[in-house]
Amino acid sequence: FTGSSRLCFIGSSLLASGHSHVYVLLGFSFCYRYNAIKYSSPRSGFIISGLAVYLPNLLIHIFFAASPLLDSTELRRIVAEYHPTYDYEDRARVELLIGAEMNVPIKMSCLWFQCVILPVYAIIVIVSILVNRLLTSTLKMSEKSKQMHREIMKCLIFQAMLPLSYFVGIGIHIAQEKLLTVESIDIGHLIFTISAMTLSASPFSTLYFIQPYRM
């Protein structure tokens, strides 16, 4: 809309930061639930640590957004070298092409975006096992409260499974690379569609699983 490469690049950084933080927040939510069940009320230090878990994500994407961008001449040269069939002039009317050097901040951001979910899932599995043990033990808690916690855990597990839907886009991309499907520009929008669907499904799952909100 504005034609500003820097503004669009910053917007992409914010989008990547938000997606990464969703994964981190998922892991934190499981830990918070375990803390709430075991200690009845969350400790103040644990709540403060919730602010700290966002710092790495914030710093990584601040440096990412500040990365220098390629000028139009260099960008055209690279596009012509690696994508000779790309019609730069024609596509310029419908999309804004942005290029940046693969420097350390960008590499860190890509690595963080792609891999942060792995330790988060490890935390989710471990904490889920611990919570299940707590709820099946002789915990001083009414059955109604235990059932409420079980429903919350079901909701969290469902939300944790939502990012797996991105494998649909990955599978289609691999199929295109192997020439198993017809190449289409619209496939490029699939990831954004999946992203919107998963982010929308997350709060709606709360309405379904959590008793006070259930319709």
Q: Give the pLDDT confidence of 14-30 residue by residue, as tens digits.
A: 888 888 888 888 888 89
How much is the pLDDT for 1? Answer: 42
The torsion of the CA quartet 93, 99, 105, 107, rounded to 10 degrees, works out to: 100
SS3 (DSSP) at 3? coil
Domain boundaries defined on the chain: 1-67+103-139, 141-215
Q: Report the C-alpha gap between 89 and 21 in whole angstroms.
A: 36
SS3 (DSSP) at 9? helix
The beta-carbon contacts of 186-191 under 8 Å, at least 24 apart in sequence, are 191/166
Residue 143: phi and psi, rounded to 5, are: -65, -35
Q: Which residues contact 196 (CB under 8 A, 6 or more apart)?
A: none
Whether 31 shows a pLDDT value over 80: the answer reads yes
Mean pLDDT of the 177-199 span: 69
Residue 13, beta-bridge partner list: none
How much is the pLDDT for 39? Answer: 79
How much is the pLDDT for 149? Answer: 85
Range in 26-30, 77-81, 106-110 the model is least confident about: 77-81
Position with higher pLDDT, 188 vs 131: 131
Whether 213 shows a pLDDT value over 60: the answer reads no
Q: Report the C-alpha gap between 193 and 69 in whole angstroms.
A: 27
Q: Which of 172, 175, 174, 166 is nearest to 196 (CA)?
A: 166
How much is the pLDDT for 86? Answer: 73
pTM for the whole structure: 0.74
- When the pLDDT of each residue in the chain is averaged and rounded to a whole number, the result is 80
Mean pLDDT of the 142-154 span: 85
Share of the chain above pLDDT 70, in %: 84
Position with higher pLDDT, 74 vs 42: 74
How much is the pLDDT for 174? Answer: 75
Whether 42 shows a pLDDT value over 70: the answer reads no
How much is the pLDDT for 36? Answer: 83
How much is the pLDDT for 186? Answer: 65
